[in-house]
Amino acid sequence: MTTEDDKDKRGSLPEQLTGPLLVAGAGVSGEGIARLLVACAADVTVADANTVTGQALASKLGCAFIPLDEAVAQVDRYATVVTSPGWRPNSELFVQAAAHGVPVIGDVEVAWQLDQARCFGEPHTWVAITGTNGKTTTTGMAAAMLAGPDREHPLALAVGNIGVAVGEALYHEPRVDTLVAELSSFQLHYSSTLRPRVGIVLNLADDHLDWHGSFEAYAAAKAKVLHAETPLVNADDPVVRNLAPEAISFTLGEPAPGQIGVRDGYIVDRAFVDDNVGEQSDGKSQAEGEGLVIAPVEGISPPGVAGIADALAATAVARALGAPAHDIAAALASFSVASHRGAITHRGGGVTFVDNSKATNPHAAAMALKGVARYIWIGGGQLKGAHIDTFLRANAPHMTAAALLGVDREKLREGLANVVPELPVFVTGKTDKHRAMREIFEFVASVAQPGDTVMLAPAAASLDMYKGMAERGDIFTACAKEFFPSEESESAH
């Protein structure tokens, strides 16, 4: 419980957080929010349907607890409801809060308000990165570009859905001045005053429509990062471009003034230079009007169009904050893509296996498959309300076979039959995650030929069968190694 000394500190709290606060949920995210607020001497009550879990957390943090049903009935007693991202907007607690005029905000909004109120010293520099796909890779790249030379004491930190939680980053030791935050549409939905130094929307496509209710609502949540001092957008995505037509942008094509793009195999900045004679990352000068040459696109991880697009976006972020070209080039040269994002995880029997389990929606899967001429596709899971027709029309003609699993497997099977009825398609009805993937690989083993590529790019979420996309990818790779032993393994016997 709060003490008199705690109450004396509340002058440093932002106005919306000075009254009694109700934290919705005693899970991992809820605990993080409650811990942050208690540390700042806020008046916190945790609500949860699980009384044992909720009481244990309240005792651990020294705050109050209320059962969820009682919280719903008494929500008007609180000044603000604070939620973790997983709670849907139509949850009864939030419906009642709205009916009583009680605002609902999220973990990122709380962290932002506390930081702006100088509860952790001078406010941090915030970068907000969002989009349907590429967020994690772009965030990691941008943080590396802004980290500075001392890796033990970086100047920037990847936070949010990657690395450290935003709230924890505020009291990170040693202090890190720049927070490069990967933010989801859920977190942004519950944000109202967030205004980062730099905000970027990478792309927009159908995703989480079951949560937001419509694409328009989903896009509106993502667009909140464009309230930034320096908004950045993807010039190649017309939906994103229209959100901020005058904003600085990045493009896979040759850059116009005000853009970061690609020319002659190099990333070039024509946005954060005045197009006068300057210096490239290799120390050479370039002619007036050509912009600043940053780094070659060859060798970027992950390889392919998706990796280059992420690198362009990260470069735009870094240049917006004044990072020199040589720091950006060095970061790209050393950056390695995280697991389950397009890495080749096995080769055996002349067949290559690519794990892109992170491709949890059709747009991400399309980017993962782009540039691969022919492949065996493994897909399926939870489509989350996403439309698949455009994805299948564009990609099915490149498939030599397809294997489907998960709750929405029949939707994908029907879609494939409409586009390429002659395509060999296998559908497993198994709900056990290991048995399902083994059946998939029994089929793959019957159709794969030396020189083939097998692509796990599911176009759907994994939580219908797996703990997450990482487990799905790990089981895929384990089966690949079992069914297609590597040449080294064969020679060892």
Q: What phi and psi values does residue 136 have, to the nearest 5 degrees?
A: -65, -45
Neighbouring C-alpha atoms within 13 Å toward the C-beta of 215: 10
- The alpha carbon of residue 126 and the mean position of all alpha carbons in its chain are separated, in whole angstroms, by 16
Q: What is the DSSP letter of 432?
A: S
Q: Specify whether the CB–CB gap between 317 and 229 falls below 8 A.
A: no
Question: Is 481 a known ligand-binding residue?
Answer: no
Count of residues in the chain:
493
Kindly state the helix (H) or strand (E) to which residue 30 belongs, with its residue range. helix 28-39
- The alpha carbon of residue 14 and the mean position of all alpha carbons in its chain are separated, in whole angstroms, by 28
Question: Is 135 a known ligand-binding residue?
Answer: yes
Question: Is 265 a known ligand-binding residue?
Answer: no
Distance CA 108, CA 465 (A): 29
- Choose among 378, 350, 366: nearest CA to 452: 350
Question: Is 133 a known ligand-binding residue?
Answer: yes
Distance CA 389, CA 363 (A): 11
| Burial environment of residue 239 by CB neighbours within 10 A (0 to 12, 13 to 18, 19 or more) | middle
Question: Is 138 a known ligand-binding residue?
Answer: no
Residue 177, classed as helix, strand or coil, is: coil
- Supply angle C-alpha 132, 135, 139, rounded to 5: 165
Question: Is 467 a known ligand-binding residue?
Answer: no
Distance CA 166, CA 479 (A): 36
- Choose among 357, 47, 389: nearest CA to 205: 389
- Strand 125-130 and strand 156-160: the pairing is unpaired
Question: Is 132 a known ligand-binding residue?
Answer: yes
Q: List residues forming the annotated binding site.
A: 131-137
Q: List residues forming the annotated binding site for ATP.
A: 131-137
